[in-house]
Chains A and B, each alone.
Chain A
Amino acid sequence: MTTTTPPPETVEAAPAAKGPVKKKSRWSKPRLITPYAVVFLLAILTVIAVSVETPSPGDEDYLSPTATSDFGGSVLAQRLTERGIATTVATNVADALAAAGRPNTTLFVPAPDFVRADQLLEMSYLPEGTRIVLVRPGAFRLMALTGLQVADSRIATGLAEPGCNVPEAAAAGPAEVFRDRYAAPDPPKGMQPVTIGVPCYDGSMVTVPSVEEMPEIVVVGAADPFDNARINAAGNSELAVGMLATRPNLVWLDMHASEPPPKYDGEEQEPDPYVPPKASSPENPLYKAFPAWMWAALIGLLIVFALAALARGRRLGPPVVEPLPVQVPAAETVYGRARLYRRGDGREAALSAMRDGALHRILPAVGLSSKADLGQIVETVAARAGRDRQQVRMILFGPPPGSDQDLLNSIHALDSLEHAVLGERPHERRHRR
């Protein structure tokens, strides 16, 4: 059938219902996203830059009295010695506590977050004249030792005025300590706010005086006044030296990792032999075991796989979609109704439907109209089928079935009656249309 004539104009085929045509705007998306992406990228870069620039207390050099790098504290240590302070360097808390047991000692803790909670408690049992200087303690240690909270935290250190009459601060003048600010926690409703210690530099240095035989504690919100890079700026040097030189002895806790927790059997703690030495292995020995070309070939093989994926990856034209027509399976409602009968044990409804159908076929066969009365039907059908009248009445108009077996029996009886009247054998009728 090869026809090229257009369909005649009298034929008006209604257009197939179609969804609204999707309109894609090619440029609006990038234009919307670009400014946000730029801002997001800048923010990410800033955060990365700051975190790279900021020394971490975990570094070996961080405020160590022997380190001469930018983060180290060698200059500070030297100036303290010049002031005639006897400096003891401890590399673990037990040594530091033992050394700080002498009266009139300052315990300098540059990395308080590596001190364990139980050691913190021991720290607060140091003699009354002791001063503890903490640099940027975390929230938990700060709260445990002083009851203060970090009120706010800046991303970089700023210069601040002392604004208090603590002697070393007043002597130092403006210094770069304004990074973390400390304050007492907000009081519960209806209570007066309390002040803990003497805040200097806008709260970034708080001196908590000695109470009830506890040592005096000084919290400093930035590491800048102590390290080699910034110690010469503003009043940093005076502040740092002044803070640590109020007592003739100084214990410098130069610790850069947490200590393992103590054993609880009361024995003297041994150094844990299972802690692996923190050494970076310079080269995997496996690398030397094979020739270099093999590694190159291995990488080359990966590239081959990637190329193979590319070569296989593109179809010649994307798959085509097509709306499928609506299709309802045959006799779906009938099967559904049968399941409903089954679930609801609709024996009565099922049998009455069967009786309706049987009567519809029987009545014309015996020459009765559908308006014939019950007695007449029973009599005619019984006569035609050669059955007992009472039995026919029970089959056609009997009570609803009580059990599943009753229903099956009733249907069977109905079938045989119908066949008796219509003169057909069940199996014959089954094959007829």
Chain B
Amino acid sequence: MITWRPVVVFGVLLLTLPLWPLPWLGLLLYIVLVGVACLADAMMAAPLDRLTMWRSGDKMVRLTGTATVTLHVRNDGPRTLHGALHDSWVPSAGATPASHPVTLPPGKARELVTTLTPTRRGDRPAVRVTVRSHGPMRLAYRQTPRARADKVSPPWTLRVLPRFDSRRHLSEKYSRLRVLEGAVAARGRGRGSEFDSLREYVIGDDIRSIDWRASARRESVIVKTWRPERDRRVVCVLDTGRTSAVQVGDTNGGGLAEPRLDAAIDAALLLSAVAARAGDRVDALAVDTEVRAVIEGGARRGLLPKLVRALAPLEPALVETDFGLVVAEVLKREAKRALVVIFTSLEPGAIAESLLPALPQLASRHKVIVAAVSDPVIARMRTRRGYGDGDPMDVAYQAAAAEKSLVERRRVAASLVRYGVEVVDQPADVFASKVTDAYLALKASGRL
């Protein structure tokens, strides 16, 4: 294919046509001249099939962060490559620059750095590398055809991890956990029901925790110390069905509307971090009509990165979640009593038809929390009646519809509570914190 140069050259040559005695002959000559020059130039361009390409760089980045991936190119051909190289990534990878100018003598290698600022969670693949090789006169070029470019491009995938905004709650939750464990000075003994150790009485200790038998064996008064149970099991179940695709949050208030699934992932991460710190074992499942991801948190150390990596590529699917499958999976995996936190939505259809029939089986073996993100938009719609701009009837009906959906949510929540299930129904901004609070409350009261 040709560049701008032959166009300009041909245009300039055209200006000399009046000088020709036979202008048609001149035109023909020019056409042949320019055509042959372009052809020769394309022939002399560096061959494209003698390039070797590979990549190195970041494999993972947190959403809103920036990663760099380096594309290495080596010219194994006999001629110097002059041209450009386009490193195509999917649009949501936010790759810059799109193309690099390249001059590559034979046998030399170059590193081309692409900076990626992804706009979405999940796996962001590099798609193809297209190389354009100009001839020595820059009249024409060769370019890798698409099919071949697809074949020779070195693959690379950047995993974009969830933002984990609720990290900011971590220190607060950890400090509450330390209070629970009795590791910091606080009024009252370390709460919990599991015996920890014996130590000497100091003023301020609860006299109810004096171990008289041990005191009798020693000269001094000995108290028992307690700590919360350890090695409990927590299972986070993420519903990736159709209800998880619904966005929650205000967009008109300047906030970011994110799918329910992202709020659930955020909350699951916070809960897992806190539970891992508390010495509990955390597993996670992502299910809709099939199991999308399974994370078994064997080792406590490194659980969070593992969880983040595994949850990053999850995406909502437009299917109805099969809670029968959820219950079967949990019962299969958890032999011991565990805390099962189901991140879903309080939608009457999905809950009543699928979750309620399977729930008794689950609730009899495990402690169940159903955590649902509620939408602040609906709460605002309900109270906006009478004050909204626009048709008063529209506002009234919207308020009624919002009220109706809240009534239905409450009804669903009430039916869940009847099975001994705890329901956390909170707006997205405090959701993760509230779910973790529910866990801490259970832990404090020794009901895990």
The minimal Cβ–Cβ distance linking B362 to chain A, given in whole angstroms, is: 22
For window 260-293 of chain A, which residues contact chain B by CB distance below 8 Å? 291-293
The reply to whether the CB of A33 lies closer than 8 angstroms to some CB of chain B is no
The reply to whether the CB of A21 lies closer than 8 angstroms to some CB of chain B is no
Binds B, one of A52-60, A72-80, A405-413: A405-413
**Count the A-B residue pairs with Cβ separation under 8 angstroms: how many?**
227
On whether the beta carbons of A426 and B386 are closer than 8 Å, the reply is yes
On whether the beta carbons of B393 and A328 are closer than 8 Å, the reply is no
Given A291-B18, A350-B400, residue A318 in contact with residue B146 (CB < 8 A)? yes
The minimal Cβ–Cβ distance linking B205 to chain A, given in whole angstroms, is: 40
A330 to B26, CA, bound (A): 69
The minimal Cβ–Cβ distance linking B111 to chain A, given in whole angstroms, is: 15
On whether the beta carbons of B20 and A293 are closer than 8 Å, the reply is yes
The reply to whether the CB of A2 lies closer than 8 angstroms to some CB of chain B is yes
On whether the beta carbons of B318 and A326 are closer than 8 Å, the reply is yes
Interface size on B, residues (CB 8 A): 99
Q: Mark A4-24, 1 if CB is under 8 A from B, else 0.
A: 110110111110110000000
Interface size on A, residues (CB 8 A): 72
Most chain A C-beta atoms within 10 Å of own C-beta, residue among B65, B248, B291, B400? B400
On whether the beta carbons of B292 and A307 are closer than 8 Å, the reply is no
On whether the beta carbons of B316 and A14 are closer than 8 Å, the reply is no
A12 to B314, CA, bound (A): 12
The reply to whether the CB of A139 lies closer than 8 angstroms to some CB of chain B is no
For window 65-111 of chain B, which residues contact chain A by CB distance below 8 Å? 65, 67, 84, 86, 88-92, 99
On whether the beta carbons of A411 and B10 are closer than 8 Å, the reply is no
The reply to whether the CB of B127 lies closer than 8 angstroms to some CB of chain A is yes
The reply to whether the CB of B351 lies closer than 8 angstroms to some CB of chain A is no
On whether the beta carbons of B120 and A325 are closer than 8 Å, the reply is yes
For window 371-398 of chain B, which residues contact chain A by CB distance below 8 Å? 375-379, 381-387, 392-394, 396-398
A300 to B91, CA, bound (A): 41
For window 1-45 of chain B, which residues contact chain A by CB distance below 8 Å? 1-4, 6-7, 10-11, 14, 17-18, 20, 22-24, 26-27, 30-31
For window 289-308 of chain B, which residues contact chain A by CB distance below 8 Å? 290-296, 298, 306
For window 114-162 of chain B, which residues contact chain A by CB distance below 8 Å? 120, 122, 127-128, 130, 132, 143, 146, 149
> Chain A interface secondary structure, helix, strand, loop or mixed?
helix
The reply to whether the CB of B401 lies closer than 8 angstroms to some CB of chain A is yes
The minimal Cβ–Cβ distance linking B9 to chain A, given in whole angstroms, is: 10
On whether the beta carbons of B60 and A337 are closer than 8 Å, the reply is no
Given A304-B11, A317-B88, A331-B377, residue A13 in contact with residue B293 (CB < 8 A)? yes
The minimal Cβ–Cβ distance linking A134 to chain B, given in whole angstroms, is: 52
On whether the beta carbons of A430 and B383 are closer than 8 Å, the reply is yes
The minimal Cβ–Cβ distance linking A371 to chain B, given in whole angstroms, is: 13
Given A1-B58, A293-B23, residue A337 in contact with residue B1 (CB < 8 A)? no
A32 to B393, CA, bound (A): 65
On whether the beta carbons of B88 and A320 are closer than 8 Å, the reply is yes
The reply to whether the CB of A322 lies closer than 8 angstroms to some CB of chain B is yes
Q: Mark A315-342, 1 if CB is under 8 A from B, else 0.
A: 0111010100111111111110111011
The reply to whether the CB of A383 lies closer than 8 angstroms to some CB of chain B is no
Residues of A within 8 A of B27 (CB): 296-297, 299-300
- Closest-by-CB residue of B relative to A17 is B317
Residues of B within 8 A of A313 (CB): 1
Binds B, one of A88-96, A102-110, A158-166, A353-361: A353-361
Query: Closest 8 A-B residue pairs measured CB to CB?
Result: A317-B130, A350-B400, A293-B23, A296-B23, A338-B401, A353-B404, A357-B403, A317-B86
Known contacts A1-B60, A318-B146; 6 additional CB pairs below 8 A are: A14-B290, A303-B31, A310-B2, A320-B128, A338-B401, A412-B386
Please list 16 pairs of residues, one from A and one from B, whose beta carbons are closer than 8 Å in the complex, sorted by A's number. A2-B58, A7-B309, A292-B24, A296-B17, A297-B14, A300-B10, A316-B84, A316-B132, A317-B130, A326-B242, A332-B246, A334-B401, A338-B394, A350-B400, A411-B385, A411-B386
